[in-house]
A = this chain, B = another copy of it.
């Protein structure tokens, strides 16, 4: 289905040329600023992304820092890096100091080391607290809860009243990433419960927090994978997820808007891995030629070398192939049937594990199921293939070889395709990354062996005859 183009985006693309003209002809960035203040930062970021980097930098420079920050943090990483180089670290640090702490940490993390360090140095002079926060957040691996969380959350003691808490939100809510949940902590900052702003508003103002909070609070550790955080938040319909250390001390909060981005990102990464390549870190056009080659060539070469074994297998059946030449015509057809059924099974299992539907302990049930499904699918394809074989004028014996091969290959594809990802997960590897290549080669090689071995046995008479004729011709 054709995606609708948002109203804002249309306007942004209309403004683009005007803004550029204003900048170039009138030379008045102040006018440009008035022009764009009415739009969502996301749309202005889209717009700047399309401009020359020097023009984009000029516009950002002209804007007050608190207006520039939400735009800047929405630019793609390569653009950010170029603009920081144009602005210089001092100017960039002024903007960075107005960014949300988690986005600021992501910015530094994503920059080339040299650029990142200069910016961090400048930030230490401009806003020492922001620099310290980056170091705190930087301790956590990208892709974990620790790297996603923000330290700007609201907390309260259980002994406070509803009215006191609402007053606190009014006072401190401006800086917090979310005001819709207030976390209840003990004197030493241990997480004890949570109360939503909705519950606060619906409660009597004199009531104690202890009486309105829920202690049934779901939390994650900073090391938790972001995919798991997303799964939990989506499962329990949470708008914010507290992050606690091993002493149950509340150290940060992850908000739903970040999780929506994670879910999109993880979907894309999984698709790319299933498509047989390393996951990209940026969008298609923001990824450089060199990065593409690196991310795609690695797996292509691995797959290519894996496929060498198909040649080895075929060489082993040299006599069979030479004796019955038309066997080769069915080769791509048969091995693709194995590859396709294998890819269906592996996708189902990999995605099932990613969203939590399928667990390692289910392997036995899955094996039995895929065996049955493979058998049914194989029989359907075998029926189709028999028609084709007769259409091409082969004999009954040949048709039987092809039909049995199809069944065997599809069953094998389903079982290998479903079991291999589980095995990888069991070994602590990421099944999305590594399954596709190995399954593809394994299924192809096994498919060839099934087909050739069946031909060798069932067409033994024809093969012996052909070898005799050839030997006679050799004389």
Contact = CB atoms under 8 A, between A and B. Distances in A.
A222 to B, nearest CB: 12
Interface string A217-257: 01011001101101111111111000000000000000011
B264 A300 contact: no
A361 B227 CA distance: 33
Contacts of A267: 263-264, 266-267, 270-271, 351
A26 interface: no
Residue from A238, A257, A296, A369 with most neighbouring chain B CB atoms (10 Å): A296
A347 B275 contact: yes
A14 interface: no
Contact of A239 (B239, B410, B444): B239
A303 interface: yes
A257 B366 CA distance: 31
B271 A351 contact: yes
B336 A444 contact: yes
Nearest to A380: B297
A292 interface: yes
B260 A230 contact: yes
A384 B4 CA distance: 45
What is the count of identical protomers in the complex?
2
A228 B264 CA distance: 12
A1 B311 contact: no
A332 B349 CA distance: 26
Contacts of A277: 344, 347-348
Nearest to A8: B218
B388 A308 contact: yes
Interface string A311-334: 100110010011001001111110
B333 A332 contact: no
A307 B328 contact: no
A39 B257 CA distance: 26
A460 interface: no
Contacts of A263: 234, 260, 263-264, 267
A428 to B, nearest CB: 7
A150 interface: no
Interface stretch (A86-94, A111-119, A165-173): A165-173
Nearest to A198: B179
A6 interface: yes
A34 interface: no
Nearest to A237: B257
A163 to B, nearest CB: 13
Contacts of A300: 337, 340-341, 344, 377, 380-381, 410
Contacts of A366: 284
A381 B296 CA distance: 11
Contact of A340 (B6, B276, B329): B276
Contacts of A1: 225, 428, 430
A67 interface: no
Contacts of A280: 348
Contacts of A52: none
Interface string A192-232: 00000110011000000000000010101100110110111
Contacts of A40: 216, 218, 236
Contacts of A216: 38-40
Interface stretch (A53-61, A123-131, A352-360): A352-360
A453 interface: no
A169 B203 CA distance: 12
A268 B341 CA distance: 17
A275 B166 contact: no
A424 to B, nearest CB: 12
A435 B260 CA distance: 27
Residue from A270, A283, A300 with most neighbouring chain B CB atoms (10 Å): A300
A389 to B, nearest CB: 10
B333 A308 contact: yes
A301 interface: yes
Contacts of A275: 274, 343-344, 346-348
A202 to B, nearest CB: 6
A303 B384 CA distance: 12
A271 to B, nearest CB: 5
Given A271-B271, A272-B347, A293-B377, 20 more contacts: A1-B428, A3-B225, A6-B218, A180-B239, A234-B263, A239-B239, A256-B260, A260-B260, A263-B263, A275-B344, A275-B348, A297-B380, A300-B381, A301-B384, A303-B336, A303-B340, A304-B384, A314-B332, A318-B325, A332-B335
